[in-house]
Amino acid sequence: MKTLVLTRSEVERLAEMELAIAAVESAFAAFGRGEATMPAKVYLPIEDHDGDFRAMPARLGASAGIKWVNVHKHNRERHGLPTVMGVYVLNDPANAFPLAVMDGTSLTALRTGAAAGVASKHLASAAPGSIAFIGCGVQARTLHAAHRVVFGDFESLVHDRNAEAASQFASEIGGRVVSLETAAAADIVCTATPARVPFLESGWITPGAHINAMGADAPGKQELAPGVLRAADVYIDDIHQAEGSGEINVPLACGDFAIDDIAGTLGEVVAGLLPRPAATVTTVFDSTGLAIQDLALARSIYDAARARGLGIEIDLVGLGE
């Protein structure tokens, strides 16, 4: 038995957004039904370098695995390296054999975009006229790609504090650079920023809109003003992660939001255990990023690689075969 090694270029070649959405949607449904095992995400702060590491293990059916990933917000300007880098190890839970080691950086970006696409599919209007992307970094690209797969045609509105980044992204996707207030009034709003001071105000949101709050993935981060949460039905990916590091973590600590205010989990909606919200209801998806998303996509990529003969096989554990 040998372990398959997949580089970033191979992962990106294999992981088309359609595959990512299918994998992530099935993972949410399984999680909603209680069929997955997912211990708490472990954070390792690296405060002297303005970063952290995260360990994310999970088991789902015939697959188990773990992602080791960082977020170092100054990496690009200080070291010429990506803000986020990761490695994924996929195992067979029956015998613990490492089936694959693959790039986790592109895996993370793809599954995060796919998660937002799945959330919009189940929580938003079935035919949005406009979708806004606030924050125009790497993640914005996969958010846009996922929504194209789910909805097809729509007007893309783009906003970023960095005008050059906004202009570049708008040019790539055929979008329009707009003010923050205009972006906030879109039918679907996707936020993907590292903000620690909320910038999205409730008065800007169109009633019945859907918001994918993707940026808050660590304690202290917050993109939405508390009034946005109070005026919406809020769905989370996982209660334990959301209360510690999601969009609701600061409002919970400040008394501006309560656990009882949560409408449910996205997994429960995807699994059919909770009804789809009415079209007139404003909804928020608080995404912290789940280890089962990584696992489901990693397994799909591994299976596709085996079928297509991609990757390099190595005797990682020294079986001598």
**CA pair distance 220, 214, nearest whole angstrom:** 14
Residues 87 and 146 in one domain: no
**CA pair distance 314, 218, nearest whole angstrom:** 35
pLDDT category at 321 given cuts 50, 70, 90 is: low
**17 found inside a domain:** yes
**CA pair distance 101, 86, nearest whole angstrom:** 11
255: left (phi over 0), alpha (psi -120 to 50) or beta: left
**CA pair distance 177, 167, nearest whole angstrom:** 7
pLDDT at residue 150, as a whole number: 98
177: left (phi over 0), alpha (psi -120 to 50) or beta: beta
Residue 161 pLDDT > 70: yes
Contact 243, 252 (CB under 8 A): yes
**320 found inside a domain:** no
pLDDT at residue 218, as a whole number: 81
pLDDT at residue 27, as a whole number: 98
Given the structure tokens 């390099």, which residue do they identify? 312
* Across 101-109, average pLDDT: 96
Q: What is the mean pLDDT of the chain?
A: 96
* Residue span of the structural domain in which 87 resides: 3-107+292-314
CATH code where residue 53 lies: 3.30.1780.10
Residue 91 pLDDT > 90: yes
CA 109 to chain centre: 7
Residues 185 and 39 in one domain: no
Residue 73 pLDDT > 90: no
Q: Does residue 232 sit in helix, strand or coil?
A: coil
pLDDT category at 270 given cuts 50, 70, 90 is: very high
How many structural domains does the chain have? 2
Return the H-helix or E-strand segment holding 201: none
**74 found inside a domain:** yes
pLDDT category at 195 given cuts 50, 70, 90 is: very high
**CA pair distance 293, 110, nearest whole angstrom:** 10
Tokens for 171? 């040019």
Choosing from 2, 41, 67, 121, the catalytic residue is 67
Per-residue pLDDT tens over the stretch 24-43: 999 999 999 999 999 988 99
CATH code where residue 246 lies: 3.40.50.720
Angle (CA) 167-175-130 rounded to 5° is: 135
Q: What is the DSSP string of 118-148?
A: HHHHHHS-SS-SEEEEES-SHHHHHHHHHHH
Examine the residue annotation and report whether 67 is marked as an active-site residue of this protein.
yes
Please give the share of the chain, as a percent, with pLDDT higher than 70: 100
**CA pair distance 24, 14, nearest whole angstrom:** 15
Q: What is the pTM of this model?
A: 0.94
Residues 166 and 49 in one domain: no
Residues 67 and 131 in one domain: no
**85 found inside a domain:** yes
